[in-house]
Structure 1
């Protein structure tokens, strides 16, 4: 069944049983509500048991990203007739749903990344003289980092990466959570929160330009971002690592691996 506004409190309670597994749908619902316009507007499709309780759920954004929370197994029938472009979820739920839906278009990205969780009281911040500023206070050369980030992490082609990177940078300037690590007057790395709830935040957008890699900047910018969140009363942070080097960096500052997370995005949407 398709959820309505009246179902939202129950949906949030259901997802909050394991918020680190459902940061994207929870954040979308908190920020945009259900059925809103725009790419992050989200609809939810539910399974209820005989007692009327939600047992499984698939959230679907307007841009076609499916986000399952289906502990009893994949529920492809919930999305029948919808257009899907991607699946974003813990791997143990994402991959079965991808297979059940028969999603077989060429992909921009199809990765299972190590998934981590951190008690923010245990964050380990590397020593250093570098400091962070909001991206709006950083030199404008930081704008040049976004297209390569889009290519390396999200699999965008160079042309799309240029435009999407430009738009993301402009949005980041007025956003709350993009920070840049500064070595003196030189920007050397950046990080962001791509989902924020009261007790838990999700890290995204961690990027170090090639010229500055191998110096521990990703560790420090991520740790300082977690310190900021902790100082605001947040209790936990979660993220997924794009490669083994990133995974080691996150473990060094206290993150513990809890599983894998799948980023699956097709070049063209598919009706299921």
Structure 2
């Protein structure tokens, strides 16, 4: 494995021409790169920040073996890698002078890259979060269903969506680096956020979903303001978004949870989600 087997580009179309079939071959394990690339295609290359994104394709003898994406200021997202592939990527990025604030991927892959990046640059990795990827099996509506009904968010809900997106980031310990208003606009444009409302029409919880790409939809984010938790609102909203995703024809309905949150892990399994793989996020330096 040679570092030059990793081909880097800032060109989204060139990246997808080279790696599109590979990404679509495993839509569950490739859900993050698929949805990030789709978001850039829909919203423009600077949808997540001012700097150009970076894409990488590991290709040898005409066969694609792995990819990564980085949408600054966020970390890189990588598909599953061997230790040798992870080391080659670290060498390639370091030698090209790329900034890498962290890595997200399947647990073994993220750990292998974090160790390789430390060897090559001296940056000390810090495990920030362990996650679990789930896939929807048989959908089960959690009982008892709270009073109220779901409603897809529209233009009049922009301020609430933006505010709840900010609050969601704070609740999981991550400051949202992208513009919350632009995020809300993007979700409204394709019906990608659903409220659970009480009978008087007051939104009390939110569940979002990504657009369908390669037959997969990922549920995210799910948020209920702190004073309203524990009443079944998040479960009802998540079940509705999951139902709608499956009704739209999605073959894979997915979501991530933080392993440190037993409440959400238990809830999603009661709805019918089953584990696929564990993931990890490492940050480098401060």
TM-score, scaled to structure 1: 0.81
Q: Report how many residues are paired.
A: 258
Q: Write the distance in 2 (CA, Å) between the matches of 1:106 and 1:133.
A: 42
Q: Is the 2:105–2:279 contact (alpha carbons within 8 Å) kept by the matching residues of 1?
A: yes
Secondary structure of 1:54's aligned partner: strand
Matches within 5 A, 1:175-214: 175-184=190-199, 185-194=201-210, 196-214=212-230
Distance 1:195 1:88 in 2: 21
Partner residue of 2:149 out of 131, 134, 148: 131
Aligned-pair distance for 1:89? 1.9
**Whole-Å Cα distance in 1 between the matches of residues 266 and 123 of structure 2?**
32
Query: What does 1:74-223 correspond to in 2, within 5 Å?
Result: 74=86, 75-80=89-94, 81-102=97-118, 104=123, 110-119=128-137, 122-126=138-142, 128=145, 129-136=147-154, 144-156=163-175, 164-165=179-180, 168-169=183-184, 171-184=186-199, 185-194=201-210, 196-223=212-239
Asked if 2 retains the 8 angstrom alpha-carbon contact of 1:64 and 1:83, the reply is: no
Deviation at 1:78, TM superposition (A): 3.1
Q: Identify if the C-alpha distance between structure 1 residues 263 and 217 changes in structure 2 by more than 3 Å, giving closer, same or farther.
A: farther
Partner of 2:3: none
Query: What is the rounded CA distance, in whole Å, between the counterparts of 1:30 and 1:171 in structure 2?
Result: 12
> How many angstroms does 1:249 deviate by?
0.5
Distance in 2 between the 1:12 and 1:139 partners?
33
Task: Tell me how far 1:66 sits from its aligned partner.
Answer: 0.8
CA contact (8 A) 2:159 2:181 kept: no
Cα distance in 2 between the residues matched to 1:24 and 1:259: 13
Q: Distance in 1 between matches of 2:247 and 2:8?
A: 39
Q: 2: distance between equivalents of 1:164 and 1:43?
A: 20
Q: CA RMSD in A?
A: 3.0
2:8 maps to what in 1?
2
Q: Report the Cα offset of residue 190 of structure 1.
A: 0.3
Q: Displacement, 1:252?
A: 0.3
Q: Paired residue for 1:258?
A: 276
- Flag the structure with higher strand content: 1
Gaps of 5+ in 1: none
Counterparts in 2 of 1:238 and 1:105: CA distance versus 1, 3 Å: same
Which residue number corresponds to residue 67 of structure 1? 77
| Distance change in 2, residues 1:267/1:245 (3 Å) | farther
Shift of 1:114: 1.9
CA separation in 2, counterparts of 1:239 and 1:25?
Answer: 14
TM-score (norm 2): 0.77
Q: Secondary structure at the match of 2:82?
A: coil
Q: Cα gap change, 1:123/1:25 in structure 2, threshold over 3 Å: closer, same or farther? A: same
